[in-house]
Structure 1
Amino acid sequence: MLRPATTPEPSRRPAAPASWQVGEVRVHRVDETVLPPDTGPWLLPDATPGVTAEVPWLRPDFTAPNGAPLLSSHTFAFETGGRRVLVDTGIGNGKSRANPAWHRLDTDYAHRLTAAGFPPDSVDLVVLTHLHTDHVGWNTRAAADGSWVPTFPNARYVTSRTEWDYWAGRWGDMEESRRRMFHDSVHPIRDAGLLDLLDVQDGPAVLAPGLRLLPTPGHTPGHVALELRSGGSSAVVTGDCVHHPVQLARPHITSCVDTDPGQAARTRRALLASLAGTDALLLGTHFPPPTAGRVTADGAGYRLAPAR
């Protein structure tokens, strides 16, 4: 969850639609909103302008003129093996949030998703990398009677059992803003019988041929990334195990909301090492455009070669 921040500047609205080919599968980025410019310095406090200046390939796409990391909120949609898949669901519309930039958000995300070829009723599988506010919001939508109902009524929603158990165990001392998020965006899909919990902690979990959940703990205890394989090609959707490309160059940089920063850094290094020098596409859940690229070794860290 991100702290209260200003609303996005009009000049920094979501970019034009983008998509990438992974074997026989076309992966679409579905934009929700550009996150406010002060989000990056707060979320990644060690990614100072001095640090980002040492990584010239971050400019101009991934940092502001003042060197601050740029971030966005978007999801990914694709069809594989007859299944229409959505990875994470963003912040959502019309929900009461502590962060002013997210409070009662009103975007045309649902229209963008439909325009990409994925009307909500057609989605079969929703993958939730973790249960943070900006990854579960479009799980539900407001019904005429004011209740929150599943946005994707024909889909199975999946996340890791470890993730669910962690938050369930904290319910008694959970802050009100997070409790509200569970009430409006998570519990309704559970109550509708649409939520599946998978055991991912000890190794990847196969969702379907060519689709696996990868255990990537640290940001949250049950965080997962999604691996897609098709036609000899592969891609990995990061979720929040990598928030920003600066963390390729400096994998030790952690988020202020990581539950276990040390584990998060170890997870990130292991994931990046497994991708470096391969043709696998890295799709950053909060990376601003160009959003996707291939990982190459670069000194003690890595760099992203954008796939535009």
Structure 2
Amino acid sequence: MRVVMFGFQTWGHRTLRALIESEHEVVGVVTHPKSDGVNERIWGDSVEDLATEHGLPIIFRERPVDEELLDELRALDAEIFVAANWRTYIPESVFTLPPRGTLNIHDSLLPAYAGFSAMIWALINDEPEVGVTAHMMDATLDAGDIVLQRAFPVGPRDTSGDLVLKSMDLFGPITVDALALIAEGRQDFQKQDRTKASFFHKRAEEDLRIDWTWSAEELDRFVRAQSAPYPSAFCFHRGKRLEIVTAEVSAAVYGGTPGRIFYREGDGVAIVAGPEARRGRGRGLLVKSVRTESGEVVSAEKYFKHMGGYLTSRP
């Protein structure tokens, strides 16, 4: 099939590479202009560079909403569009333009975790598995019929970075496999059960703030979800911002007030945590390393020179 791909960053790069190597003909690429955003620096493989390397026509847009773009797309005469990490709204006038519609690749097992930052939210919420969905685009974001899904388990110490990298490996193969089904003329794709749908917003500064009334198990996942290459989870110590870089659940149960810097356990420092902390019914968060306001990463053993005092959610 003749394909136009809408994509950006590493997700788009891997998808475009798979399309180029497939039996399909890529007749054009729509991508965002380069910027200096944080995410672009983290996952910066360039769709533009790959398209240029292969002599493909490139169209740049932040938002694909103008009549000039529609004219350019009509001239490419594609049978289907593919979207992979396209970060702005694609209007119906665009996604319905090709005769076979638009295939979108989303980094969750839809209908759950539509929207943004799916891997981070899924890890925080203790999902046993995550994955990627290839679905037909419709007027509701991430709600179209499912063509294919691929899942993989969440490991006991996985970080969000680990999950994102694993999911990226699926973008190219699931795109090519889904296009094969569409090329066969298949239309009996799975309707999404909207009663099971969930829609999540982008992560922001407030979403990184530690709440010590969460259980140690929840906080452990939260720290792993908010870890490199993403911004770290943070709290405050003596009025200064302190990021928790690595941590795990303590071996022992620690009771008292949530946030109390309590006890040295092995090579970490146990912080009292959880809604049942005052009753002594929960383990603590064993902090292993932290990042100070100056940006220095140090071990918890070195940073916490004395026990006592509190880590707080606000200064």
TM-score normalised by L of structure 1: 0.30
Bigger radius of gyration among the two = 2
Could you say which structure has the greater relative contact order, defined with CA pairs below 8 angstroms and 6 or more residues apart?
A: 1
TM-score (norm 2): 0.29
